[in-house]
């Protein structure tokens, strides 16, 4: 159980680390290039999926399962990443 808690804390630390950058990107693209914003937010989600695939053994080779995990993570904790607060859809 301690390993799962440690991995969750890693995800929270990553979210805290990238929050200022994500907030700035969302503000910039939302104001000056709103049509590009959704594409960029999906790209960020794809990076999170790649990270989770490398981080969690159970997801290796199961891309759709990782996307479902990300959707459930967003449902459980919608404020974790700054771009989710801005209204990004996952997947």
Residue 7 has pLDDT above 60, yes or no: no
The tens digit of pLDDT for each residue in 14-63 reads 888 888 888 888 888 888 888 888 888 888 889 989 998 998 889 998 99
Give first-to-last CA distance, the chain, whole Å: 29
**pTM above the 0.85 mark?**
no
For residue 6, pLDDT over 60 is answered with no
How far CA 11 is from CA of 21, 35, 38, 56, in Å, comes to: 16, 29, 22, 12
State the Cα–Cα distance between residues 66 and 31, nearest whole angstrom. 31
More confident residue, 34 or 90: 34
Supply the pLDDT for residue 90: 59
The helix/strand count (H/E) of the chain reads as 4, 0
Using the structure block, give the residue that is written with the tokens 């200022």: 20
- pLDDT in the model for residue 1: 45
């Amino acid at each position: 159980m301690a390993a799962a808690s440690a991995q969750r804390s890693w995800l929270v630390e990553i979210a805290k680390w990238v929050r200022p950058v994500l907030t700035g990107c969302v503000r910039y693209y939302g104001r000056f290039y709103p049509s590009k914003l959704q594409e960029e937010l999906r790209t960020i989600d794809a990076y999170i999926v790649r990270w989770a695939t490398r981080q969690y053994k159970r997801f290796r080779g199961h891309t759709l399962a990782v996307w479902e995990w990300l959707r459930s993570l967003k449902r459980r904790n919608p404020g974790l990443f700054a771009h989710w607060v801005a209204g990004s859809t996952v997947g």
